[in-house]
Amino acid sequence: MKKSGKYAMGRLLAVWMAVGVLSLTAYGGEEDTFVQGTTVNGLGISGMTVEEARSHIGNFYSNEYKLVIKERNGVTETIQGKDIGYTTGLPEGALEEILQKENDAGRVFGPDAGNSYRIQLQSTYSQEALEARIGGLNCMDESSAVVTRDAHVSDYQEGQPFVIVPEVRGNNVYPEKVAQAVREAVTAGEREVSLEEKGCYHQVQVRAEDENLKNLCDTMNRCREMEITYVFGEESEVLKADVICTWLTGTADGEIQLDAGKVAGFVAELAGRHDTAGTARTFRAADGREVSVSGAYGWRIDQGAEAAALAAMVRTGQSQSREPQYATAAALHGEQEWGQTYVEIDLTNQHVYMVKDGAVVWDAPCVTGNEAKGHHTPAGIYTLAYKQQDRVLRGARRADGSYEYESPVSYWMPFNGGIGLHDANWRGSFGGTIYKTNGSHGCVNLPPDRTRALYDLVYQGIPVICYH
């Protein structure tokens, strides 16, 4: 009897446990309430009807909604739903669909049942109030933020080596990214948003251990010992390291960066001290007189090209000697920069000389521009543009297509735009005062029987010096 009693009780307990399991896992039939453990966006609605759940969810988000903004260093800020006029609702039929799904599945519940749902809420709020709250967030206050900064090379200090300044991981944000992340979170009914995960913070791009940065620092320290020597013929000028180092601005791309304004300023000063083009210079004429001449001929540094070349040299960290890059150049540096070979045109005495290696090797009388008609031959230092045989020189073109004049010449040697040396077989005499009332349109007329010899002596680029 004892054995059979235990046996009967065991059978009864097994039946009760089976019934209990069934009661925890399923209910058959249709019901109008949500099963145990049902949540929508983390909010429990177990045992509620559709209308009760809709009201519960709406009230929660309208009265209790808040967005927690997670910031760096454990800092948080909160935007309350009531402060932005927040209300929310579910899409039409969303709750009905969930209830039907649970009924169709046999109303299963328990730890293994998937009764947690995420639904995109349809929220409304005051855009103006939200923007005001966003603008008032502490993280948006740039004045109190710790600015993120890449590791970099220190500024120049006289007598001190360049060193690497470590990076700073600050908390300054991109304001528009913060605003966008908060707007999206509120619209979606999210209860927290991480500014870090949303990429709202300025990030450190270069750290102190960066090899390019280390190499850059080493190169900049070599600049503390370098000099650049500029050579101008027999003269020179030294650009010292203490000046160079004030131009340096270290970056992490492995290449020295320079203050372009300072480099350009130095080159401009260099040009101011050494350019001669356009300045007045003293010329000793063939007859022994000293006259003042000026003009485009001479040395003129190409400041843009030289500034770029100078910056490139500094980046090497190596001492160098160099001549600057010139836009225009003369034959020599020094007082007589046109050298010892040139053409000389005496406008006062109406005479032309060819000087070669310091000696006059050819000369002839000439006729220059007609002063009475304002056709002056300008004084100055020029260079021969080119030379050409058998050329027709023409004046201005008239309305009918003809020219003011047409003059065939055998030898044409221009040196100042349309002004040049050439033979003039229409003249019977040269020199004297002919030019004052019967001169040319500005050219230098030469005797036909003397011009070929000059043509053979001159070459493109030879200096041509006109003076009174």
DSSP letters, 177-238, are HHHHHHHHHHHHT-SEEETTTTT-B------TT-HHHHHHHHHHHHHTT--EEEEETTEEEE
Angle at 270 between CA 264 and CA 271, to 5 degrees: 90
CB of 430 within 8 A of CB of 364?
yes
Q: Is the pLDDT of residue 89 over 80?
A: no
- What is the structure's pLDDT at 41? 87
Q: Residue 88 belongs to what H/E stretch?
A: strand 87-89
pLDDT one-digit tens code per residue, 177-208: 999 999 999 988 889 999 999 999 999 999 99
Mean pLDDT, the chain, integer: 90
- What is the structure's pLDDT at 60? 80
DSSP letters, 239-258, are E-HHHHGGGEE--SSSS-EE
Contacts of 407 (CB under 8 A, 6+ apart): 392, 393, 394, 424, 426
Q: Residue 267 belongs to what H/E stretch?
A: helix 260-274
Q: Using alpha carbons only, how large is the chain's radius of gyration in Å?
A: 47
pLDDT one-digit tens code per residue, 222-234: 889 999 999 999 9
Question: Sorting pLDDT into bands at 50, 70 and 90, what band is 17?
Answer: very low
Report the 10 Å Cβ neighbour count for 23. 9
CA-CA distances (angstroms) from residue 97 to 26, 48, 101? Answer: 19, 14, 6
CB of 380 within 8 A of CB of 295?
yes
- The residue type at 417: G
| For residues 404-429, average pLDDT | 95
Q: Is the pLDDT of residue 122 over 90?
A: no
- For residue 427 the two structure tokens come to 């003249």
φ and ψ at residue 290, rounded to 5 degrees:
-105, 120
- What is the structure's pLDDT at 143? 93
| For residues 122-151, average pLDDT | 94
Q: What is the torsion angle, in degrees rounded to the nearest 10, for the CA atoms of residue 312, residue 317, residue 320 and residue 322?
A: 20
- What is the structure's pLDDT at 262? 96
Q: Is the pLDDT of residue 271 over 50?
A: yes
- The residue type at 344: E
- For residue 202 the two structure tokens come to 């300025």
Q: What percent of the chain clears pLDDT 90, i.e. is strictly above it?
A: 72
Q: Is the pLDDT of residue 58 over 50?
A: yes
Q: Is the pLDDT of residue 373 over 60?
A: yes
Report the 10 Å Cβ neighbour count for 148. 17
> Mean pLDDT: which of 91-95, 130-134, 246-250 is highest?
130-134
CA 460/CA 415 separation, integer angstroms: 9
| For residues 374-391, average pLDDT | 96
Residue in the structure block whose two tokens are 């009924």: 103
pLDDT one-digit tens code per residue, 311-346: 999 988 899 999 999 999 999 999 899 999 999 999
Distance of CA 370 to the CA centre of its chain: 55
Q: Is the pLDDT of residue 24 over 80?
A: no
| For residues 425-444, average pLDDT | 96
Q: Which of 155-164, 222-231, 375-384 has the lowest mean pLDDT?
A: 155-164
CA 363/CA 284 separation, integer angstroms: 16
- What is the structure's pLDDT at 215? 87
CA 279/CA 80 separation, integer angstroms: 76
- Nearest residue to 86 via CA among 67, 113, 68, 111: 67
Q: How far apart are the first and last CA of the chain?
A: 152
CB of 445 within 8 A of CB of 428?
no
Q: What percent of the chain clears pLDDT 70, i.e. is strictly above it?
A: 93
CB of 70 within 8 A of CB of 139?
no
CA 443/CA 424 separation, integer angstroms: 10
Contacts of 362 (CB under 8 A, 6+ apart): 353, 354, 450, 453, 454, 457
Distance of CA 70 to the CA centre of its chain: 36
Contacts of 352 (CB under 8 A, 6+ apart): 343, 344, 345, 346, 363, 364, 365, 366, 421, 444, 446, 454
